Amino acid sequence: MPVIAPMPAARPARIPGQRDGAEETVAAGTTVDHLTETYRAHYRSLLGLAALLLDDTASCEDVVQEAFIRVHSARKRVRDPEKTLAYLRQTVVNLSRSALRRRILGLKLLSKPMPDMASAEEGAYDQLERDSLIKAMKGLQRRQREVLVLRYFADMTEAQVAETLGISLGSVKAYGSRGIAALRIAMEART
């Protein structure tokens, strides 16, 4: 329960319809006692309202507490005490919207993680390996080079390579295996 200091009543007025000459006074606006009773009676329902709008309990509690603080500060502007609960509900909704806006803005402003990129050193090694592979490919026989390029770089099946080059499936397999063996030897010699 929040700590609410009692405030002196402003502009006391006689309540019409009193009997026995007893005079009760009421402040213009919502009194601290009425706000305290509203807190006791409706805190959980306001917390539920905030929970529907927000996703975590701590934020909900903060929003409801802030709503009561704001209503307490502006209690003299709420002329009809019956409208205190409505004013509190609207304040909870507005504060929840503000909290969500701040979250969305915070997410937009978070720095985006850098994509996984190879370091300059790795890029240099990759380039050297590509250059070595290209030189080794140039050293192969023409048919071996054609079969390997179509099979592994153009991603064709052995049957498609055979049809494209106009040679038998057995020749494709032979040129392919001899070409890979020659590449392996050439690449090992360069390292």
Spacing of C-alpha 139 from chain mean position: 53
Q: Find the CATH number of the domain harbouring 53.
A: 1.10.1740
What pLDDT does residue 76 have?
Answer: 81
Give the residue from 88, 110, 132 where a domain finishes: 110
Rounded to whole angstroms, the Cα distance separating 153 from 65 reads 66
What pLDDT does residue 29 have?
Answer: 61
What pLDDT does residue 64 have?
Answer: 93
Judged by DSSP in three states, 14 sits in: strand
At 182, give phi and psi (nearest 5°). -65, -40
Same domain, 106 and 65: yes
Walking along the chain (191 residues) 10 residues at a time, the average pLDDT comes out as 41 43 47 86 90 86 92 83 87 92 82 69 81 88 92 90 93 94 88 66
Same domain, 34 and 104: yes
State the DSSP string of 102-125: HHHHHHHHSPPPPP----HHHHHH
Q: Which domain holds residue 182?
A: 140-190
Q: Could you tell me if 156 and 188 are in contact, meaning their C-beta atoms sit under 8 angstroms apart?
A: no
Q: Find the CATH number of the domain harbouring 178.
A: 1.10.10.10
What pLDDT does residue 114 have?
Answer: 67
Q: Could you tell me if 56 and 47 are in contact, meaning their C-beta atoms sit under 8 angstroms apart?
A: no
Q: Based on the structure, what is the number of domains in the chain?
A: 2
What pLDDT does residue 20 have?
Answer: 46
